[in-house]
Structure formats: C-alpha cells, structure tokens
Structure 1
Amino acid sequence: MTSMYDLSVQDILAQLVAFPTICRTENQNLIEWVEAFLRACGARCLRVPGEQAGRFNLLASIGPDTPDGIVLSAHSDVVPVEGQPWTTDPFTLTTRNENLYGRGTSDMKGFLACMLVAARYAAQKTTLRAPLHLAISYDEEIGCVGVHSLLRSLAAHKFQARGCVIGEPTNLHVVSGHKGKLAACIVCHGLAAHSANPARGSNAILLASDMVQAIKFLQDELQNNGAQDESFEVPYNTLQAGLIRGGVALNIVPDLCEVHFEMRLLPGVDPALYIERLKQEGSRLCTTYPSARIEIETLNTYPGLNTLDDTPFLQEIMAITGDNAPSHIGFGTEGGLFKEYLDIPVVVCGPGSIDRAHKADEFIRLDELSAGVQFVEKIVEKLL
C-alpha cells in the first residue's frame, strides 16, 4: 500500500480536492492531513488558529533555522459550487482528456500539492543551506482575511526570509504587482411612513440611489483624470457598487438601505481620500432628506503588491521561469500582506489559469501540474 509520504502529485491533489474547504467553513481536516504529511517529511510545523473554531493557518519549515529561506504560500479555501452546472463531482478529482477537474485545482490546491512535493524533495536533500518554508492560509477568498493571524505571529517572532512565492495561477509567469482592494458598506437611514403619503417619511432607497450615483461620478473622475499605470489591464483605480438591499414592503417608505461597494486601487494608493469624498457627499445629501443619516463602514481591505523590477529575489525566480520581464495581474492575493507584515520581497507565480477559477468544471492540465512540480523543485535547488 502506498504511504502518504509516497503519493504522487496527482494523488496529493486528489486528497486536497476531497476536503470541501469552502471559504467561511472549517479547514481543520485538510490542515491535519497536510501537517501529518509534512511531519513525515521532518518539517517543523506551527499551526496558528484563526478567530473562528476549526480554521487554521500552518507554517512548516524544512532545513536549517536561518533567515535566508524561501516561502512557498497557498490558501486552502475554495469558492462555493452551489448553482454552478458541474459535470463532475467538484470534490472528487476527475481526469478527462489530460485535464484534472475539481474545485480548487487551479485556484489553488494545484500549487498546494506542488508545495507538498517540494517539501518531500527538500527533505531528501542533505545539503540545504537555507530553509524551505510552506505557508498555508484559510479564507483568502473572502478578502485575504485568514492569513492575518499567521503573519502577526510570524512578525512577533521576527520571522525572516529572502522572499515569498504566492502560487496563485499565473500560467507559471512571474507577477510582481497587483491592485489592492477595499470593500465597504454605505448604510442609509431614512424615516419610515405609509406609502399613501411618502412625504411624511424619508426614503432610504432614494438616498442610497444618490450614493450609487456618487460612486459612479467618482469612478468617472478617476478613470478620466486619476492616476494611470498602463502595466495593468485596467490602468486606473476603480469603484463599483455590487450589492444593494433595502425596504420591507411596497407600501412602506423604507427607512434603511445598504449599498456594498468596492475599490480596486493601484499599489500604494490610500483609499482614505475617496472614502472621505463619499462621506462629504453623504453629508450634503442628508441636508436634502429629512431625518436622513449616512454611515460608511469599511468591511475589508488588503494592500496591493509592487515588487520593484531590480529586486534580486524577483530576478532569481524569473531566472527559473525564463520570463524576460514580470507582469501585473488584475486579481488580488495575500502578497501585499506578506510584504506589509514581514517586509520580504514577494512574487506571484503558480501553475494553471485564473480564467478557469471560480467556475463550474474548474481544472488544471496534467502538464501544468507537472510543470508546477518542476518549478518548485528548482526553487528548492536554490537552497542547496
């Protein structure tokens, strides 16, 4: 019988996919399985609990305890599958036409499987001069919220490394930058009344619609006159309202309406100025609505990533992939948080395509998974 330690990368991926670690749910069973695998490799493991029961981050280290190791990082959670027209069981790895189907195969349990192979490969080497670190987080898919407890713990212990590779799916092209994100909620308070005489109330939905229009005006201004970075597919800062809810019944003037919106910001841009602009507009609108009040609450935020082109670690990883220049991506990662907490250089590079993520019949190709293994093994060889 094949032991856990001897599993192929495809077998490891099958085990990982079988854990339904949907964001906002527990990942304890996956973490326990991964930790057992890594301890069999001789790794030193630090399990860091999250704020909710059953959710954990994990850091594993193989090799000498020196400050110049390399971190490979992945999140363990996946997005939900409800309402999607899957043709296979999303939590059973299914092979078809050289594709491996299952939730998380590209985003990003494929890279996590490669990380475990890298750990085993590192454990077999007797000449490691620097450690290989594996960082595994939870609840990345809801705004990179889970990794904070791990990074706080590492920062408190003055953790050091020469660089970190976030293995999000980039078709194994090196990425040096992405935008940051802020998610927020505008809470509009009005005054309830009978709809037979709406003037006796203050309509919170109408107030919210004016705030949506304020978001649009600010977006137009940023697009036409704001900062630009042509290395991004969308070269300017963006705002968009993605969720609105309010009202109780058609014959009641609504006294409450919420608008959820987000900003995607170029690296280094502070969202505080834009939040203040919206607050000022809210204050102005409240003078025109009786008994009106507007609050803006930040729900989640994470920073962008901007690793400079002349960073030695970036050049080191590009030498492995053969990229002549790094690229930028439109989606966010935990990379900016690793940089913010630990002040280490970060790149994003992993097998698979983000175009397949979050969809029915998500897959990674067999050759992509094999290339991912070769990539991480070459990183390990940098530690010899």
Structure 2
Amino acid sequence: MTQMNVEMILDQLVAFPTVVGTPNHAIVDWIAEYCRSYGAAVSVLTGPEGDRSNLFVTIGPSQGRGYILSGHMDVVPAREDGWTSDPFNLRRSGDRLFGRGTSDMKGFLACALAAVPKLAVQDLRRPLHLAFSYDEEAGCRGVPHLLAALPRLCDTPLGAIIGEPSRLQAVRAHKGKAAARLEVTGRSGHSSRPDLGLNAVHAMAGIVAQVVAYGRQLEQGPLDPQFEPPCSTLQVGVIQGGQSVNIIPDRSIAEVELRAVPGTSPVALLEPMKAALLALRDSGYQVAWHDLTTYPGLSLPEDCALAALLADLTRQPVLPAVSYGTEAGLYQQAGINAIICGPGDIGRAHKPDEYIETTELTACQSLIEALGDRLAA
C-alpha cells in the first residue's frame, strides 16, 4: 500500500459512513489491510450482531506488556441542519478539516494509523496495540466484547490511552452513566369517562415528578469537586404518550439518564426509580423497565505512572476530569489503567460542520511516535 499522510488517511476514514448501529465491515477491512501491509498482527473480532466488528492490532513483539491506543470507529448520525458540505466527504478550509467524526474520533484513528509506518520499522521492545471498537456512541456496546478477548490477544497492558477529543491534554476521570427506557401501559377509553380508563400519561407524569425530585436529592452528594457539576445528575430526556386529546392514553414511554461521580454505581443509583415504576402495578398498570446503556466512571490516581507518562509526552499538566463519558472506565474495570488523551475538541463533536485542525493531527501523530520511541528504548 502506498504510504499515506494523516490527512489522506482521515479522508479515507471519514468516507466510510459508519453511523452507530450500522454495519462497519468496510472500514474494518480497510484498516486491517492497511496495518497488515506494514507487517502488523491484526485480529478482526466480530461482535454478536454479526455485521460489525472490533479490531485489534499489534505492532512490535507479540509478548510483553505494552500500551493500547483505543478509539471507536462509529460516529453519530449527520442529519442535523447546518452542514455546509457532505458530512462524509472530508473538506479542507485553511487549517480546518471538516467532516463527521473528524474530532470524535476518526482524527485519533488517523493519527495512530499514520504512525504505523514509523512504528513498524522500529525495534520495539514492548508492543503497541491499536484497539478500535464499534457502537461506542450507543453506550460503549462494542468494547466489552473486545475486552473479553484481550487475555488471548496480548499480555496485560501497562495502560490504555483513549483518544477521545481532549485538545491533546490527558484527563484522569469522568462520570459513569446508566440510561433506561420506562414503559407504562394503562387502559384506553373516551376522555369523557376517565373513571373507566387508566391514563398512562398521568401515571408517567407521576414517575417524572419523582425523577425530578430524586435528581435534586442527588445534588446533595456524594460530591466530587473535580466535576462540573460536582454531583451525580439525573434527567428525563424523552417522553411520549397519547394520540388525541379526547382519548385516554393507554401507553406512555420515557427515557432517563443518570451520570454518576466515580465511586458510585449509576445502575445502583437508578434503582429507586425502577422501584417507583414497578409500584404502578399496584394501581393496575402494566410496566416495563429496559436498560439501554451503562458504563462505569473513570478514576485514575493522580500519582499513577500512566498519568506521569502522558504529562511527559504532552508537556502539559493532566486534567483531573471531564464531563463526557468514554470507554476508559471499562478498561479500568477490566484491570487496565486508562487515561483520555486525543486531538480535537469535544465542543465540536455531534454538531454540523464538525472539524479538526491539521496542527492537532500533526501533534497527536508526533505524540504517538514519541510513545513508540519510549517502547524502543
């Protein structure tokens, strides 16, 4: 394969419309062929869905404790108004490269792949692994399958660098998350006889009121001043129900999301809301609780060797925390120290005309190559 620079690689990656929840074999095949052309060991790990895969690549020796560069291949949809060009066709304007996923987070993938030619000819004493996942944007659904396979793919890594957009400043912590869909089924009828029906919207309104009240309780603690806000948070993001004002609604749906400070379980914190929903059965309603997504928070100690390494490589202080979530907490849960550090800005993600700057890509590629130098020393 002809050697490509980071911008050329990003152009290829953005052109794959790897929207979360859709097949991704085209991008997996392209990356696998690219890495194999430089002699890297490649494992394609097909998920239970059958039409999408994780990818694991090893550069350097097959044994020994090295580092993982972790990123996700999926992107959020690009249906928002405001795009001034095709979201899946990389467009350059000055120092900016526009396209879906440029910051979140195909820019990091491109940097890692652009570093492969140099890494491949170095005499690495320890391996450097690329771990690229699917469906991160749906609540980190792909990476657990990759982590389950890790013991047969490599020795326990020294750490994982999660390349989410952080302006290339390392970050030690983020909140955990749990989201659920709540369903209430009542009994329909004419609105003139509400006594003969069971109004599912009214029942759900009571649950929503409890969610709001419980969210205010969470504001009291536990608190972690590293975060903004410093408490766990709870919100209702979706509510649906009813079809006409003169029909008693027999069904209502709500979706709730809880973000928990590290040290607390987001799933456990949602239990009182689950209990409140189930209690509606005593009033004759049918109810259902569906877990949508969950991942743990990240909390890397300030004095951890991985934090010191990234501070040295980036020549910037390590940030204590960010508000958004990543796969890093799942790596830590699997016994692998993890830290966030990637090019781009999370403030540009999930918006029209998402972009990354060419200088950010160059700096990230240089950081990865400097990590390779450490592994060759």
Mapped contact 2:71–2:163 kept (Cα < 8 A): yes
- State the Cα distance separating 1:5 from its structure 2 match: 4.1
- Deviation, 1:244, is 1.1
1:131 aligned to which of 127, 131, 154: 127
Question: CA contact under 8 A between 2:100 and 2:354: conserved in structure 1?
Answer: yes
SS at match of 2:238: strand
Q: Is the 8 A contact 1:67 1:162 kept in 2?
A: no
1:376 aligns to what?
Answer: 368
Q: Secondary structure at the match of 1:187?
A: strand
Give the stretch that moved more between structures: 354-363 or 291-300: 291-300
For residues 58-92 of structure 1, the C-alpha deviation after alignment (integer angstroms, 9 at most, x for no partner) is 00001112231110011001111113221111111
Secondary structure of the equivalent of 2:29?
helix
TM-score for both structures, normalised by structure 1: 0.94
Cα shift readout 1:206-257 (whole Å, capped 9, x = no counterpart)? 111111111100011111x221111112110000000111224333211211
CA-based RMSD = 1.6
Identical columns (%): 40
- AA in 2 matched with 1:345: N
Give the deviation of 1:286 after TM superposition.
5.2
- Contact between 2:18 and 2:73, CA under 8 Å: does it hold in 1? yes
Partner SS, residue 115 of structure 1: helix
Give the TM-score of the pair, scaled to structure 2. 0.96
2:161/2:338 contact within 8 Å kept? yes
Write the deviation string for residues 176-220 of structure 1: whole angstroms up to 9, x where unpaired. 110011011122122222222111111000111111111100011
Q: Which residue of 2 aligns with 1:116?
A: 113
Structure-2 residue corresponding to 1:18: 15
Contact 1:182 1:300 (C-alpha < 8 Å) held by counterparts: yes
CA distances 1:86-120 after superposition (whole Å, capped 9, x unpaired): 11111111110211111111111100001112222
Q: What SS is found at the alignment partner of 1:324?
A: coil
Whole-Å separation in 1 of the counterparts to 2:296 and 2:351? 26
Determine if the alignment matches structure 1 residue 229 to structure 2 residue 259: no
Task: Please name the residue that 1:267 is paired with.
Answer: 262
Alpha-carbon distance in structure 1 between the residues aligned to 2:276 and 2:320: 37
Structure 2: segments with no counterpart, 5+ residues:
none
Q: Contact conserved, 2:169 with 2:317, CA < 8 A, in 1?
A: no
Unaligned runs of 5+ in 1: none
Choose the corresponding residue for 2:306, options 305, 313, 334: 313
Q: Secondary structure at the match of 1:328?
A: coil
SS at match of 2:244: coil
Is 2:164 the counterpart of 1:168?
yes
Name the counterpart of 1:38.
Answer: 35
Whether 2:196 is the aligned partner of 1:200: answer: yes
Equivalent in 236, 240, 252 of residue 235 of structure 2: 240
Query: What is the correspondence of 1:50-89 to structure 2 with a 5 Å cutoff?
Result: 50-89=47-86
What CA distance in whole angstroms lies between the structure 2 residues aligned with 1:337 and 1:28?
Answer: 24
Instruction: Find the partner of 2:176 among 173, 177, 180.
Output: 180
Residue 291 of structure 2 is matched in structure 1 by 298
